Amino acid sequence: MHKGADPAGIAHPQTTNYPPVQRSFLAKRSGQLNFPPSPHCAKKSTVQPLRLVLNSYGLVSALIPRKEKVPPFDIREIPGLRKICAHLKSMLKSQNFSFLYNFGIVNPSLHEMKLDHPALVKSLQTAYSAERAASFAYIGHAGSLINPDEKAGVKQIEKDEWNHRSHVLELMKHYEIPVSRFLELKFFLIGKAIGLSCYFIGRFMPYFFAGKLESGNVCEYFVMIRYFHSVGITAHDDILFEMGIREKEHEVFFQKMIKDEKWLPWFEKFFSWGIEKSLNDLDLNAVLPVEMAERYCRHFRAQKSERTS
């Protein structure tokens, strides 16, 4: 019989004289799944059902598309989203959304700040939060007073403190200094606690400690003037000077309120503040011009560190 034809006489396309096993291997490797039957196989061999299965699989797989590998979805690839995000960010920093800035939601990182003076940045952040604490304390203080004139005086001071807070915030926004959430919380609690305590500690002590606090606040603003000058900025002298003078007026108001109290000499001796002693060197009867603001509170930081050490 002629080689390459099966026993039934059907012509076989393969003419190479490979052994049967090797032919099957070559057919598989070339992707020919529907390989021809071996001439050595019988007509009704076990290969026939296998061919049927393979053909069926080919048909089915051709009808059903294979699952393509889908790359993970990246939200940044949405057209225009980057532009929208940049626009939103600039809007949040603007005046329209200043309330978010006030709560510390929009906080530029430290390297983005325009003021390279850590002590000044800290002073502004502290002043901003402490002014609110003072306002809360004076709300409680005014509420605890009976005399309507005294009540009105303390309420006016509370308004001044809110104004100071807004002025300080303007400065912070100008230099993109973030509001400290830690200081906000800390001074919120302090202010509320002091305000509440005013209802329980009588008339004298709220006046005394408010006066002592104001006495220290005076120099905070004059020290800020000096800090600004050290980096060549004089643009805020007027507002800082005015706030410092206003704090001195608060101190004097509280001094007057308790000048005749019998407890004052004892408290003055123990807490180093009263009619004779003060934590600043300002005299409202002889106020220096703004240009000479640096002459005030020159030893304030040193005195403060001595007291705290």
Q: Which residues bind Fe ion (CB under 5 A)?
A: 131, 161, 164, 214, 247, 250
- State in angstroms the smallest separation of the CB of 245 from Fe ion: 11
Q: Identify which of residues 23 and 304 has a Cβ nearer to Fe ion in the complex.
A: 304
- State in angstroms the smallest separation of the CB of 217 from Fe ion: 5
DSSP tag of 114? S
Q: What are phi and psi of 83, to 5 degrees?
A: -65, -40
- What does the block give as tokens for 305? 């560190």
Helix (H) or strand (E) holding 130: helix 118-144
Residue nearest Fe ion, Cβ-based:
164
Decide if 210 contacts 141 (C-beta within 8 A). Answer: yes
Q: How far apart are the C-alpha atoms of 33 and 48, rounded to whole Å?
A: 13
- State in angstroms the smallest separation of the CB of 127 from Fe ion: 8
Q: How far apart are the C-alpha atoms of 288 and 303, rounded to whole Å?
A: 22
Q: How far apart are the C-alpha atoms of 240 and 290, rounded to whole Å?
A: 10
- State in angstroms the smallest separation of the CB of 160 from Fe ion: 6
Q: Identify which of residues 35 and 246 has a Cβ nearer to Fe ion in the complex.
A: 246
Q: Identify which of residues 47 and 239 has a Cβ nearer to Fe ion in the complex.
A: 239
Q: Identify which of residues 97 and 162 has a Cβ nearer to Fe ion in the complex.
A: 162
Give the Cβ contact number of residue 267 at 10 Å: 18
- State in angstroms the smallest separation of the CB of 78 from Fe ion: 48
Q: How far apart are the C-alpha atoms of 252 and 284, rounded to whole Å?
A: 9
Q: Identify which of residues 144 and 212 has a Cβ nearer to Fe ion in the complex.
A: 212
Q: Identify which of residues 106 and 293 has a Cβ nearer to Fe ion in the complex.
A: 293
Q: Calculate the dihedral angle through the C-alpha atoms of 248, 254, 259, 261, rounding to the nearest 10 degrees.
A: -150
Cα–Cα distances in angstroms (integers) from residue 86 to residues 14, 15, 80, 89, 91, in the given order: 69, 72, 10, 5, 9
- State in angstroms the smallest separation of the CB of 247 from Fe ion: 5
- State in angstroms the smallest separation of the CB of 164 from Fe ion: 4
Q: Identify which of residues 106 and 278 has a Cβ nearer to Fe ion in the complex.
A: 278
